Amino acid sequence: MSPSERTREILRKVRQVEIRSRKFVDESLVGAYHSVFKGQGMDFAEVREYQPGDDVRSIDWNVTAKMDRPFIKVYEEERELTIMLMVDISASGDFGSVKQTKRELAAELASVLAFSATRNNDKVGLILFSDTVEKIIMPKKGRSHVLRVIREILFYEPQHKGTNLSEAMKTLNHLIRRKAVCFLVSDFLTEESQAWLRPSTKEKPGELQKMLTLTGKRHDLICIHLHDPRETQLPSVGWIVLEDAETGHQVEVNTSDARLQGMYQHQNRQRLERIEDTFKRSGIDHFQVQTQEPYITALRAFFKKRGKRR
């Protein structure tokens, strides 16, 4: 493919994602984003005359004394937010057994969140990471900025294959000092989560939970767990070679072996349970999105559930 053809393909893909994302934002998420993600404080707006039912704690005593009748201070929500998207672009994201890969799913999810933020005049930033932070786009406003974010998620070519979630969060905490709304989008296939497969893991047990807890105290952190059905259930297709996308390790297995299928399902269910337990222990909001299901359904359900807590 020539450079000009690739450029046209990139623009076409980004445009497709934009059209779908805007449709979902307009039809399904109008008002939900604004009501769920509140501003970070209150700004003074004006002084007006006291009315029955007003909170007496809001009385402006200086103005009241001058006017010889009660006046109160009126505040407005400081609406502007910073939305940070932390997207996992490790090699495992290139897998997808249904309609799209996990990385394509991540791009569409991120674009819906980014356009929702833009509609509310919020800033959007991006951190792309593998086993290191590979790309940083600082928060800005506007459609052209959001389109750049989508383009990078879809077409950035990672220099590394592994996954280090903790490094991404450390970078976030260093860059963004003021409290932000942060979405961590990943399949959470890390060395720690697969310790049963990789006994020699270099990642310290419990490090992910520690960083999730720390980041959750500094920011409004939400984890979006991407999942493909083949990650918990092997198809019965005889002998095949499985390769770990992040390490390159290969193993030949007979997928028709009922005992192997049972072991595969059991171990991967345990992995998912450990991830779920890590989220709960960290006190982090989270939800799962599957490649075989409409992601907008999971997103709406999350907004509804979170809105009830407000």
Residue 30 is classified by DSSP as T
CB 137 within 8 A of CB 126: yes
What the block records as the tokens of 281 is 């222990």
What is the arithmetic mean of pLDDT over 126-140? 94
Q: Which of 67-71, 141-145, 198-202 has the lowest mean pLDDT?
A: 198-202
Gap between the Cα atoms of 18 and 293, Å rounded: 19
Predicted TM-score (pTM) of the model is: 0.76
DSSP-based helix, strand, coil % in the chain, nearest 5? 45, 25, 30
Q: Residues 197-216: pLDDT tens digits? A: 444 445 555 888 999 999 99
The CA-atom distances, in angstroms, between 299 and each of 18, 134, 293 are 17, 27, 11
Residue 59 is classified by DSSP as B
Q: Which of 105-114, 257-266, 277-286 has the lowest mean pLDDT?
A: 257-266
What is the arithmetic mean of pLDDT over 262-278? 86
Give the largest Cα separation in the chain, rounded: 89
Q: Which of 9-13, 98-102, 154-158 has the lowest mean pLDDT?
A: 9-13
CATH class of 3-34+80-308: alpha beta
Q: What are phi and psi of 244, to 5 degrees?
A: -75, 115
Q: Which of 111-115, 193-197, 275-279 has the highest mean pLDDT?
A: 275-279
Gap between the Cα atoms of 117 and 80, Å rounded: 9
Q: Which of 94, 112, 90 is nearest to 23 (CA)?
A: 112
CB atoms within 10 A of CB 269: 12
Sketch the domain layout of the chain as residue ranges: 3-34+80-308, 44-77
Angle of helix 207-218 relative to helix 165-175, nearest 10 degrees? 20
CB 203 within 8 A of CB 241: no
Q: Is the dihedral of CA 102, 103, 104, 105 positive or negative?
A: positive
Q: Residues 106-123: pLDDT tens digits? A: 888 888 888 888 877 889
Provide long-range contacts, Cβ within 8 A and 24+ apart, for 278-283. 278/208, 278/209, 278/212, 279/212, 279/223, 281/209, 281/213, 282/209, 282/212, 282/213, 282/216, 283/213, 283/216
